[in-house]
Each structure stands twice: as C-alpha cells, then as structure tokens.
Amino acid sequence: EGACMIMRPRGLPAAAARLRPHLPRVTAFLIVFSVGYSLGIVSSSARPSTPKPSQTVIRPHAAHLTAASSAGVTASSNGTGAGASASYPRSPPHDLFRFGDKCGEPVPAEDVVKTLLDKLFDGESPYASFPPAHTAALLHPAAARPRGWGSTGAVFADLIEEVRPDVIVELGAFLGASALHMAAVARNLSLSPAILCVDDFRGWPAFRGRFRRDVPQQRHGDALLLPQFMANVLAAGPEAAAAVLPLPFSTASTLGALCRWGVYADLIEVDAGHDFHSAWADINLAWAVLRPGGVMFGHDYFTAADDRGVRRAVTLFARVKGLTVRPHGQHWILSPKPRGDGR
Ligand SMILES: C[S@@+](CC[C@H](N)C(=O)[O-])C[C@H]1O[C@@H](n2cnc3c(N)ncnc32)[C@H](O)[C@@H]1O
C-alpha cells in the first residue's frame, strides 16, 4: 500500500514539501562527505606503501643480483657444492666482478728486483746495514724454522718444479716460513726466482697473543713483523736475502702497482686475508699480474676459518673464469692461466 502511494504522481509534490526543510542539512552532509572522501584517496596514493613482512623489495639497481639469470653463474653459498645457491652476473656493471686485467708492458724477469728497489726503496736493498742496533735489540733471535701454517707443504716443491718460475709473488708472508721454504726448494732445483713477499706486516688484531715466542713485543704500536721477517731471511743466508724481497704494503695497493709497472709473476701464492672479500680481491687482482701459462695457488682450502671465505672465493673465481680447482694437501691450485686471458 505505501509503495503504491510513492508511485502515485499526485503524491510527489507532497513528499518534496515534507523534505524541503531538511534540504540544507542533507546538502551540507553530502559536500563534507565528498570532500573528505576525495582527500582520503589523494593522501593514500601519495604515501609510500609499507611492504608486508613477507614481501621482498628488489630495488631496480640490484634486481640483476637476485633475478635468476641465464647469463649468470651459480655458486653455492658455502663453496662446498651444497647449500642454498645464489645467482651472480658474469660481468660488470657490478663491482664484485669489475677488476682490470690490462697491465703495463712487461718488465723482463731479470730486471724485476731492480725495478722494485728503485720504485720502493730508493734503489737500495732494504737489507743493507740491517738491523741497526736499536732494532736488533727489540727482535727475537732469528728462528731456523719460523712459525707458519702449512708453509713447507709438498705443494711448494711440486709447483716450483712444474712451473720453474723466474718470479714468484707471495701474498701474506708473516715471518717468512713459506718464502724461505720456496727459496730453499728453488735452490735445490738450481733455480733462482725473485720471491716478492707482499705483506703489510701488521698481522691482524690481537694476533700476538698466540705468537709471543715468535713475534717481538710491539713498539709504539708497531708490530715489528717486518724487521723480524727480515732478520729471519738474513739468518737463512745471503742467497735467501738475494731472493726474498719484502713489499711491505697492503695486497690490493701492491698488486695494483705491480700491474701498472708491468711486474708479472709465473707463480702466485695467496695466503693473506682469509675472509671472502679479502681473498676474492686478492685472487682477482693477482690474476692480472699472473703471466699467461702461470699458476696461482693458496692455502686454507679446507679450513672452516672465516666461514670458508677462501674456499668460496676460489670456487666462485674458478667458475667465473672457467678454471678447475685442484686441491693439494691443505692448498688449492687453479689450472694455469690460459694464454689470451689478459696479457
Ligand atoms: C697466514 S699469514 C701468512 C703465512 C705465510 N704464508 C706462511 O706460510 O708462513 C697472513 C699474513 O697476511 C698478512 N695480511 C693479511 N691481510 C693483508 C693485506 N690486506 N695486505 C697485506 N698483508 C696482509 C698478515 O700481516 C699476515 O702476515
């Protein structure tokens, strides 16, 4: 009955007359409602949305690192072949893979030591008149066999015999154990390579606690590793001192300089920083100064130190470069540098 009333045309003017007094309030309500609604839409579209915890935010510049890419190589996170895998791009633009591979015109092997003495030591051997009395008083008596880590492993003799190097670069020399062993091995093979020992001779934070009998007491913040290394080399005889040259700087800066100066090595031992990033940088930078046909090897392939940083770096490098890794005792050996890779 009511519905019929509304349908009746005659009833409309009466209903309108009844609503008329409420019209201003209804209109005002509608205006306020529409303005509020519009403002709400505008502000919600301007505010950045907070991702839900389960959402992964891939920023555009890093997207290529997380996207599964057919151009990339896959490396296991622990370097053992097991565990979660991550995809890496094969080439720049990412800095992780951007290392120069073009170095200077090669200095002839027989001129390498003179070149370095000129550039680093004002043309004079660092062993000349060493040690001055005030330094000698601070040092331990030179050890016949300085403290090291796998420093006399069979890998040294095997590789020196195989490669017959004119120039060896050692990254990480500590007290000279492995360098002196290489000098002795080379001598037994009637070889006389220059053995360039790159080490900042600072050790690592609080290292001395474990080596009080091997390393002198620090002096004014100086670990005195360099003079102890040099004393150990001199004690091994003049032939050792003629062969083993300390390059007392960081591995990265030294490798960059060797590259610029055209100083190449036939054999490179990597045994400095053992975290992934140090080992990764050392291996990549050293590769540039490895002569094609030369061999790179290093220590600590099997130890769990630094979350297997060395092993992960070696594994990734081998995959990126298409090389093989040959374990040898505690050491790793990469297949020889292909001719045509860099200089
Ligand atoms: C494990 S010891 C080397 C042992 C030596 N190869 C041996 O067998 O006797 C590591 C050495 O690397 C050096 N080292 C670590 N990081 C370095 C860096 N970034 N630059 C230069 N030397 C570094 C330390 O000072 C230390 O003497």
pLDDT in tens, 230-250: 999 999 999 999 999 999 999
- Let me know if residue 343 belongs to a domain: no
Written in H, E and C, the secondary structure of 6-19 is: HHCHHHHHHHHHHH
Residues 13 and 137 in one domain: no
Residue 23 has a pLDDT of: 72
- Let me know if residue 57 belongs to a domain: no
246 lines ligand 1 (CB under 6 A): no
211 lines ligand 1 (CB under 6 A): no
Which of 251, 248, 237, 247 shows the shortest CA–CA distance to 112? 247
Q: CB 302: neighbour CB atoms within 10 A?
A: 14
Residues 34 and 139 in one domain: no
Residues 75 and 132 in one domain: no
46-81 residues labelled b (16+ CB within 10 A) or e (exposed): eeeeeeeeeeeeeeeeeebbeeeeeebeebbeebee
- Let me know if residue 54 belongs to a domain: no
Residues 72 and 126 in one domain: no
203 lines ligand 1 (CB under 6 A): yes
Tally of structural domains, the chain: 3
pTM of the model: 0.76
Cα distances from 65 to residues 57, 146, 310, in angstroms, run: 13, 44, 22
- Let me know if residue 73 belongs to a domain: yes
Residues 216 and 127 in one domain: yes
Calculate what percentage of the chain has a pLDDT beyond 90.
63
Residue 29 has a pLDDT of: 65
Residue 32 has a pLDDT of: 60
- Let me know if residue 59 belongs to a domain: no
Residue 90 has a pLDDT of: 61
Residue 39 has a pLDDT of: 52
Last residue of a domain, one of 77, 98, 119: 98
Ligand 1 midpoint to CA 271 (Å): 6
- Let me know if residue 78 belongs to a domain: yes
200 lines ligand 1 (CB under 6 A): yes
Q: Would strands 73-76 and 85-88 be described as parallel, antiparallel, or unpaired? A: antiparallel
Residues 160 and 293 in one domain: yes
Residue 45 has a pLDDT of: 39
CATH number of the domain that 296 lies in? 3.40.50.150
DSSP 105-152: PPPPGGGHHHHHHHHHSTTS-TTTTPSPHHHHTTSPPPPSS---SSTT
Residue 55 has a pLDDT of: 38
pLDDT in tens, 67-104: 444 333 443 333 333 334 456 556 556 788 889 889 99
Residues 81 and 130 in one domain: no
Cα distances from 46 to residues 42, 49, 206, 317, in angstroms, run: 6, 9, 53, 45
- Let me know if residue 342 belongs to a domain: no
Question: Residue ranges of the chain with pLDDT lower than 70?
Answer: 1-19, 26-30, 32-93, 342-343
The helix/strand/coil state of 26 is helix
Residues with Cβ < 8 Å from 203, sequence gap 6 or more? 174, 215, 223, 225
Which of 168, 176, 171, 200 shows the shortest CA–CA distance to 279? 171
Residue 49 has a pLDDT of: 39
Residue 237, domain extent: 103-334
Residue 308 has a pLDDT of: 93
